[in-house]
């Protein structure tokens, strides 16, 4: 099924990965030769460019270390503080757990890398499913936000919004996608979502791929259809948009294509021609895959790529693999990649290294199978030995009371076990997040759960087996260093309200990642206001 163009791109990927060591050295050499004289690197390299000096002298950093330099550029100073190439704008990171989005410098070279990457990452899927662009259209849920202007005059936007604003994208939009640009940039995400789903249903015979950036957005779209399918069908039947859609852009776009079509409305329940569902299913998104697999009725879930605001990283060469088996092949020409070894405790928990610990980073070609690593990138856009922070075994320490630490991996493992315990009781755990309550001593963990009862069943009590975490937690709980675990069950729709809150604060709906640990007081109020039951572990675990 692969086209000649696809075969050429697959061959390029093979050549890149075959020569990874040489290409990585060239990438680092180019970055250092160009930027060694910048204010930031000059203090570590003294204008020299040797790889070993870079590894010895340049520190491993987080965003907080680079933020003062980035803020100076955003406030009007020249970009040579961090890099020699002029900065053309900023990407806003999609991270929501840490509060405000992070500004990531963008240059012309960054834009070129993204253009190359977009031409490569779908090649493995084309090999299996054929050229989607030639076969039909994509019902892709896309949500853009207005750009933010920094004091320097440089614009900041999410990666996805930046793509939607490109002239090339707008030129091909009507040919390859079902959603008009007005629905993508609708100020009200719910109106935009309704209209994108409506346009997709109207063009259902042309749809060959359904998707969004993240699994959570696809699921939100499916549940939105569950709640509004009668209204959607009625609009298609009479050829008019429902009155609650008030956005002028959406209404104008609808007026150009909608006409009464009762036959099409009657066909909505039948299977469309989609060949796959495309969305990122790994990392924090894996919690949604079981539910999405239920709705997909056997359609493959394709997680094409691994990329973030900080760097383009890799491609999934085996798109037919189940989400739990997905891995990504790193592209050595996109950035210089290093890997910080982290200790896997064997019980699913991960022990992290702090920035000042003396641990040697591993190059891309020297990573070992089965070893856990934290990703560190050096890019052409002024990030030098930068800890990306939320990849490769999802290392983030999200909960910490006293000395005990619980990683996102631990939390996911616990919730997976809890789902298995809840299922025979007639309940489905659909959403969750966490919070550390230190208002009293000792502090305790709080888990917010949205539980759906089968056949209208209501949750009255929880199995005590659910009320515990991993081994280290149990030890500290037994010593009374940590108080009893609390589970707060919330109303249906609570996590949609949480998403709406973050979207109202500037997060793009298509890039929204539900925080695994709540740190915002406003977000906590949203959850607490919808609590319908509280449960504590009855006694310290044995």
CB 233 within 8 A of CB 265: yes
Q: What is the pLDDT of residues 257-281, one digit of tens each?
A: 999 988 887 777 665 678 899 998 8
pLDDT for residue 313? 92
Q: Phi, psi at residue 27, to the nearest 5°?
A: -60, -50
Q: What is the pLDDT of residues 103-124, one digit of tens each?
A: 999 999 999 999 999 888 888 8
Out of 59-63, 88-92, 429-433, which region has the weakest mean confidence (pLDDT)? 429-433
On whether both 237 and 319 belong to a single domain, the answer is no
Is residue 460 over pLDDT 80?
A: no
CB 451 within 8 A of CB 489: yes
- At residue 131 the predicted structure's pLDDT band, cuts being 50, 70 and 90, is confident
Using DSSP bridges, classify how beta strands 397-401 and 305-307 pair: parallel, antiparallel or unpaired: unpaired
Predicted model pTM: 0.79
Q: Report the C-alpha gap between 179 and 194 in whole angstroms.
A: 11
Is residue 406 over pLDDT 80?
A: no
Token pair in block for residue 279: 């969305």
Q: Phi, psi at residue 305, to the nearest 5°?
A: -145, 160
pLDDT more than 70, % of the chain: 84
> What average pLDDT does this structure show over 90-103?
71
On whether both 378 and 415 belong to a single domain, the answer is no
pLDDT more than 90, % of the chain: 47
pLDDT for residue 174? 92
pLDDT for residue 260? 92
More confident residue, 456 or 126: 126
Is residue 490 over pLDDT 80?
A: yes
On whether both 401 and 382 belong to a single domain, the answer is no
Give a yes or no: residue 186 inside a domain: yes
> What average pLDDT does this structure show over 72-98?
86
- At residue 162 the predicted structure's pLDDT band, cuts being 50, 70 and 90, is very high
pLDDT for residue 231? 94
Question: Per this entry, what is the length of the chain?
Answer: 542
Closest by alpha carbon to 231, among 249, 217, 247, 243?
A: 243
Give a yes or no: residue 66 inside a domain: yes
SS3 content of the chain, % helix, strand, coil (to 5): 45, 20, 35
Is residue 399 over pLDDT 60?
A: no
- At residue 295 the predicted structure's pLDDT band, cuts being 50, 70 and 90, is confident
Give a yes or no: residue 279 inside a domain: no
On whether both 30 and 159 belong to a single domain, the answer is no
- At residue 348 the predicted structure's pLDDT band, cuts being 50, 70 and 90, is very low
More confident residue, 492 or 30: 30
Q: What is the pLDDT of residues 305-315, one digit of tens each?
A: 999 889 999 99
Is residue 349 over pLDDT 60?
A: no
pLDDT for residue 539? 60
On whether both 412 and 503 belong to a single domain, the answer is yes
Q: What is the pLDDT of residues 239-263, one digit of tens each?
A: 999 999 999 999 999 999 999 988 8
pLDDT for residue 408? 61
Sheet arrangement for strand 137-140 = 137-140, 207-214, 276-280, 301-302
pLDDT for residue 250? 96
More confident residue, 156 or 345: 156
Q: Report the C-alpha gap between 33 and 25 in whole angstroms.
A: 12
Is residue 202 over pLDDT 80?
A: yes
On whether both 223 and 131 belong to a single domain, the answer is yes
Helix axes 521-528, 494-504, angle to 10 degrees: 150
Closest by alpha carbon to 240, among 231, 249, 227?
A: 231
> What average pLDDT does this structure show over 196-224?
92
On whether both 343 and 435 belong to a single domain, the answer is no
- At residue 402 the predicted structure's pLDDT band, cuts being 50, 70 and 90, is very low
| DSSP reduced 3-state for 296 | helix
Token pair in block for residue 415: 């919730």
CB 447 within 8 A of CB 488: yes
CB 381 within 8 A of CB 69: no
The pLDDT mean for the chain works out to 84
Is residue 97 over pLDDT 50?
A: no
The total of structural domains in the chain comes to 3
Give a yes or no: residue 446 inside a domain: yes
Is residue 462 over pLDDT 90?
A: no
**250 to each of 10, 205, 229, 256, 451, how far by Cα in Å?**
39, 22, 19, 10, 34
Is residue 431 over pLDDT 80?
A: yes
On whether both 193 and 141 belong to a single domain, the answer is yes
- Residue 374 sits in which domain range? 4-88+311-387
pLDDT for residue 518? 84
- At residue 401 the predicted structure's pLDDT band, cuts being 50, 70 and 90, is very low
On whether both 434 and 489 belong to a single domain, the answer is yes
On whether both 368 and 420 belong to a single domain, the answer is no
Give a yes or no: residue 286 inside a domain: no
Token pair in block for residue 47: 């204008």
Final residue belonging to a domain, choices 353, 387, 421: 387
pLDDT for residue 161? 92
Give a yes or no: residue 304 inside a domain: no
Q: What is the pLDDT of residues 354-389, one digit of tens each?
A: 554 557 899 998 888 778 888 999 999 999 999 987
pLDDT for residue 369? 78
Give a yes or no: residue 305 inside a domain: no
Give a yes or no: residue 277 inside a domain: no
On whether both 238 and 373 belong to a single domain, the answer is no
pLDDT for residue 405? 47
On whether both 410 and 319 belong to a single domain, the answer is no
């Amino acid at each position: 099924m692969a086209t000649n163009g696809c075969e050429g791109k697959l061959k390029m990927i093979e050549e890149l990965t075959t020569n990874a060591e040489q290409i990585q050295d060239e990438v680092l050499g180019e970055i250092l030769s160009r930027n060694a004289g910048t204010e930031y690197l000059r203090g570590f390299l003294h204008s020299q460019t040797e790889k070993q000096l870079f590894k010895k002298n340049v520190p491993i950093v987080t965003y907080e270390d680079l933020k003062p330099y980035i803020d100076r550029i955003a406030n009007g100073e020249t970009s040579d503080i961090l890099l020699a190439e002029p900065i053309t704008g900023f990407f806003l990171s999609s991270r929501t757990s840490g509060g405000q989005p992070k500004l990531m410098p963008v240059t012309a070279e960054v834009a070129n890398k993204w253009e190359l990457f977009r031409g490569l990452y779908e090649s493995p899927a084309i090999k299996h499913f054929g050229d989607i662009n030639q076969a039909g259209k994509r019902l892709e849920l896309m949500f853009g936000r207005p750009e933010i202007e920094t004091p320097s005059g440089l614009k900041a936007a999410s990666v996805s919004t930046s793509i939607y604003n490109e002239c090339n994208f707008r030129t091909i939009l009507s040919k390859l996608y079902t959603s008009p640009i007005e629905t993508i940039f609708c100020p009200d995400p719910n109106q935009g979502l309704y209209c994108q789903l409506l346009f997709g249903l109207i063009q259902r015979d042309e749809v060959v791929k359904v998707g969004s950036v993240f699994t959570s957005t696809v699921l939100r779209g499916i549940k939105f259809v569950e709640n509004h399918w009668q209204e959607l069908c009625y609009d298609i039947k009479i050829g008019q948009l429902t009155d609650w859609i008030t956005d002028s852009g959406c209404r104008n776009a609808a007026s150009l294509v909608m006409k009464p079509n009762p036959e099409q409305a009657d066909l909505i329940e039948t299977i469309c021609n989609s060949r796959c569902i495309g969305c990122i299913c790994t990392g924090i998104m894996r919690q949604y895959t079981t539910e999405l697999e239920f709705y997909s009725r056997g359609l493959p879930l394709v997680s094409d790529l691994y990329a973030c605001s900080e760097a383009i990283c890799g491609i999934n060469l085996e798109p037919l693999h189940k989400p739990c088996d997905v891995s990504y092949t790193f592209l050595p020409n996109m950035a210089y990649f290093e890997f910080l070894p982290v200790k896997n405790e064997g019980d699913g928990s991960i022990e992290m290294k702090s920035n000042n610990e003396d641990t040697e980073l591993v190059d891309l070609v020297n990573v070992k199978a089965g070893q856990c690593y934290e990703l560190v990138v050096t890019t052409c856009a002024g990030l030098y030995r930068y800890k990306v922070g939320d990849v490769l075994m999802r290392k983030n320490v999200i909960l910490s009371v006293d000395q005990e630490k619980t990683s996102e991996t631990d939390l996911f493992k616990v919730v997976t076990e809890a789902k298995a315990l809840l299922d025979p009781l007639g309940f489905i755990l659909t959403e969750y997040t966490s919070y550390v309550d230190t208002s009293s001593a000792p502090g305790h963990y709080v888990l917010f759960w949205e539980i759906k009862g089968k056949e209208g069943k209501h949750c009255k009590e929880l199995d005590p087996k659910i009320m515990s975490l991993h081994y280290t937690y149990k030890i500290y709980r037994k010593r009374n260093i940590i108080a009893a675990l609390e589970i707060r069950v919330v109303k249906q729709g609570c996590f949609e309200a949480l998403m709406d809150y973050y979207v109202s604060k500037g997060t793009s709906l298509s890039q929204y990642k539900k925080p695994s640990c709540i740190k915002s007081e406003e977000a906590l109020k949203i959850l607490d206001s919808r609590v319908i039951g509280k449960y504590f572990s009855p006694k310290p675990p044995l």
